[in-house]
């Protein structure tokens, strides 16, 4: 046991954990960061970064295949998965090296090993205790499956999907949320036949229904099959592939079954419950200042109920470091966190859906949809989609929802609009560069402010 008492001891080196460590050290705090795997966690090594690298490779494949539409006589002669994986791993490796250097340069005490909570102020790693005036739990998440559906063989999670060295001819994706539709998009671009199974009525069911329907139309056009509103029953592996039975009796077969039904919190056997940490279905419950209610123990990231997004964990980590340093930061508004699904076309949103806005404000809600067909850059990119604004009566814009190629790059301005409670008139006075897709946000707000140019009021 170390006699030293640290300002913060952090268990978990993913987005939430390392952000807390870096900000804490920046504020002059003595920080210990404990990680049993690789610094950067799921997002860097098994999530955000490698999947988006695959999605970019898929975009390049589509560009080569469709070059003739733009007068470029390109051919797609095949997909070299060894080369794709080399590119993906290179991106991850460079970011990993950079993150390691950052942590080292900030004089954070970095400890490799599996840690467990052994008291309200201590984490133990390999027989050594690290005592902190404050403890931060940031242990992340894992790929879930369904009861009775064991992963292995031809039934894989997103972790295994990221390391495939071949392209399956036929894939069934169980789950039509973010992870499921992103992998479906990649594999379709690489030439696979893909079918998505989603128990809820729409793909990306957490998004505004208008966006879900637009994505479904786009997927139909791309040849991605999906079955919504139907539940999975069971799966059987054979020498040739896997057979999937749905509750309606329909049987599907494919080479692989990707299980993409969400991520569960890594909180078992960590000493949390034993030391009074309240858990809800495995998630750590916290107050609006991310306190667990046990000593000075905080929790951040995927183990906290809510959106499981790297940038949410990142923001929470910074919040806790500043809270510990006595800066009294403003609490994080979950509805103000931007969300992007990086399939083709992309789906990006921030704030309230139309349904959520009506539930909160009643019928005094107005919406406007601007079709990207009126946007010059979207025509150049040959993408279809729209920007939908949700407004609280005559008040501020409370939701922005977008579908189209690369619309994720527009989410920065969209989150400023909703988080700063801007009115359409406020945004309409801003000058948006032409020709950009960002211009479409300006056009949508011009229309909602009552002065449409390239759109109907």
What are the residue numbers of the active site? 434
Closest alpha carbon to 281 in 262, 297, 294: 262
CB 389 within 8 A of CB 367: yes
Kindly tell me the sign of the dihedral angle through the C-alpha atoms of 426, 427, 433, 435. Answer: negative
Torsion, Cα of 394, 395, 396, 401 (10° steps): -40
How far is 113 from 124, CA to CA, in rounded Å?
Answer: 9
**Given the DSSP bridges, would you call strands 279-280 and 283-284 parallel, antiparallel or unpaired?**
antiparallel
**CB-based contacts of 402: which residues, under 8 Å, 6+ apart?**
211, 346, 347, 348, 349, 385, 386, 387, 388, 410, 411, 414
Exposed (0-12), middle (13-18) or buried (19+): which is 223, by Cβ within 10 Å?
exposed
Closest alpha carbon to 119 in 129, 110, 111: 129
Closest alpha carbon to 417 in 403, 401, 433, 406: 401
- Please tell me whether residue 395 adopts helix, strand or coil conformation: coil
The Cα diameter of the chain in Å comes to 70
Nearest 5°: the CA angle 60, 63, 67 is 145
Torsion, Cα of 452, 454, 455, 456 (10° steps): 70
């Amino acid at each position: 046991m170390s006699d030293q008492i640290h300002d913060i001891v952090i268990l978990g080196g993913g987005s939430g954990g390392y952000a807390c460590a870096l900000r804490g050290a920046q504020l002059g705090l003595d920080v210990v960061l404990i990680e049993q795997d690789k610094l950067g966690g799921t997002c860097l090594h098994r999530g955000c970064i490698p999947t988006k690298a695959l999605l970019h490779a898929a975009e390049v494949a589509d560009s080569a295949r469709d070059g003739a539409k733009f007068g470029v006589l390109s051919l797609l002669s095949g997909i070299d998965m060894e080369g794709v994986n080399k590119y993906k791993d290179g991106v991850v490796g460079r970011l990993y090296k950079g993150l390691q250097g950052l942590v080292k340069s900030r004089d954070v005490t970095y400890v490799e090993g599996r840690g467990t909570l052994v008291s309200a102020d201590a984490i133990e790693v390999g027989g050594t205790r690290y005592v902190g005036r404050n403890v931060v739990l940031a242990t992340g998440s894992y790929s879930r499956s369904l009861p009775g559906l064991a992963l292995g063989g031809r039934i894989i999670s997103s972790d295994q999907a990221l390391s495939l060295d071949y392209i399956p001819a036929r894939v069934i994706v169980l789950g039509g949320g973010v992870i499921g539709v992103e992998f479906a998009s990649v594999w379709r671009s690489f030439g696979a036949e893909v079918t998505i199974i989603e128990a809820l009525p729409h793909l990306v069911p957490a998004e505004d229904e208008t966006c879900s329907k637009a994505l479904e139309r786009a997927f139909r056009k791309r040849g991605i099959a999906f079955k919504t509103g139907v539940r999975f029953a069971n799966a059987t592996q054979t020498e040739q592939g896997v057979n999937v039975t749905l509750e309606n009796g329909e049987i599907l077969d494919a080479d692989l079954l990707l299980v993409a039904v969400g991520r569960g919190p890594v909180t078992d056997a960590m000493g949390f419950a034993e030391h009074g940490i309240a858990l809800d279905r495995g998630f750590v419950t916290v107050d609006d200042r991310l306190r667990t209610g046990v000593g000075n123990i905080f929790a951040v990231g995927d183990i906290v109920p809510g959106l499981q997004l790297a940038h949410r964990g990142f923001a929470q980590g910074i919040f806790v470091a500043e809270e510990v340093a006595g800066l009294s930061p403003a609490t994080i508004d979950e509805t103000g966190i931007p969300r992007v699904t990086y399939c083709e076309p992309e789906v990006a949103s921030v704030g309230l859906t139309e349904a959520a806005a009506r539930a909160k404000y009643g019928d005094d809600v107005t919406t406007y949809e601007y079709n990207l067909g009126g946007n010059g850059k979207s025509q150049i990119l040959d993408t279809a989609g729209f920007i939908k604004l949700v407004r609280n009566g005559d008040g501020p814009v409370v939701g922005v929802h977008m579908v189209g190629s690369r619309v994720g790059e527009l989410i920065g301005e969209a989150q400023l609009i909703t988080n700063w409670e801007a009115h359409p008139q406020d945004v309409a006075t801003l000058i948006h560069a032409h020709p950009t897709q960002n211009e479409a946000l300006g056009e949508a707000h011009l229309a909602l402010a009552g002065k449409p140019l390239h759109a109907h009021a």
